[in-house]
Copies of this chain bind each other. A is one copy, B any other.
């Protein structure tokens, strides 16, 4: 076991990516995948994973199944000459639920616990069926691009909560999968809760935990808007926050653009957040950034997301890039 521990410490994770539920599913339609977006996201992930290597040709797909009558990828043995993902691909993917799972979870109150109630137990089962079916489709989409993806449900991995905070999260299988050259694909899930019986473990909490444990070089959140705004982005006067500086104590400031109405004092009002979850998002991202890990919040399936995934933003942020960068300043 000591040998394995060592390996985890020497080989670092390059990137943890969150595929936001809103970016890969159709928000307002029950259990519908945004296939167009997911296909572009998968293709960009592939490009990012093999960046720096040549030749970046499209490799053979890894979904050899016959499901849904879709593009049946046949395995031609000669295609498997080299492993494009051998070295540079240490990514972890986490996705949200979007229009999968939320209906089942909220209808039954899984997040509030109480497995002794038949409705809650039924909701737990229904939620897991829904989110694991989304997970399977995302693993398929990545595999069609030749990404060696393996689905890993947090519930099955033994992750559990205690009043919704992570109580136990065994990362050993995630680490072993990465060390064996695979891309783990985790997701928001219904899990057991030590105090209330069951709970919902969100993709964002998973990301925060993985980032703290695996210390990736950077974290990318793929969303359905350009980044984080100072108010709900549907409002015409909403301003995109392009750069947020986080200090080691966790406090933060918007450094680009320069805003008049926003000071760091607002970091304390997350409980009364009326800005469309903006404060919550920044607070979550700031908790990662204070570990010294850059966080990029960017619109999925755009040229901006590809550049973020490639790691192009680690130095200066180009003027022609749009999104939100949240990083530590000393």
Contact = CB atoms under 8 A, between A and B. Distances in A.
Interface of A: 30-31, 59-60, 62-67, 75, 77, 80-83, 103-104, 107-108, 115-119, 121-126, 128-130, 132-133, 136, 139-140, 143, 146, 148-153, 155-158, 160, 170, 172-173, 176-177, 180-182, 192, 197-198
A50 to B, nearest CB: 13
B31 A130 contact: no
A181 B103 contact: no
Contacts of A60: 122
A92 to B, nearest CB: 14
Contacts of A30: 66
Given A80-B119, A83-B118, A133-B136, A125 B158 contact: no
B65 A129 contact: yes
Contact of A81 (B103, B118, B197): B118
B140 A129 contact: yes
B67 A31 contact: yes
A197 B152 CA distance: 19
B129 A136 contact: yes
Nearest to A121: B148
Given A75-B126, A128-B151, A133-B136, 5 more contacts: A63-B126, A83-B116, A129-B136, A150-B155, A157-B158
Contact of A172 (B151, B153, B158): B158
A122 B65 contact: no
A180 B115 contact: yes
Nearest to A62: B125
Contacts of A108: 75
A150 to B, nearest CB: 6
Contacts of A182: 121, 124-125
A18 B12 CA distance: 41
Contacts of A66: 30-31
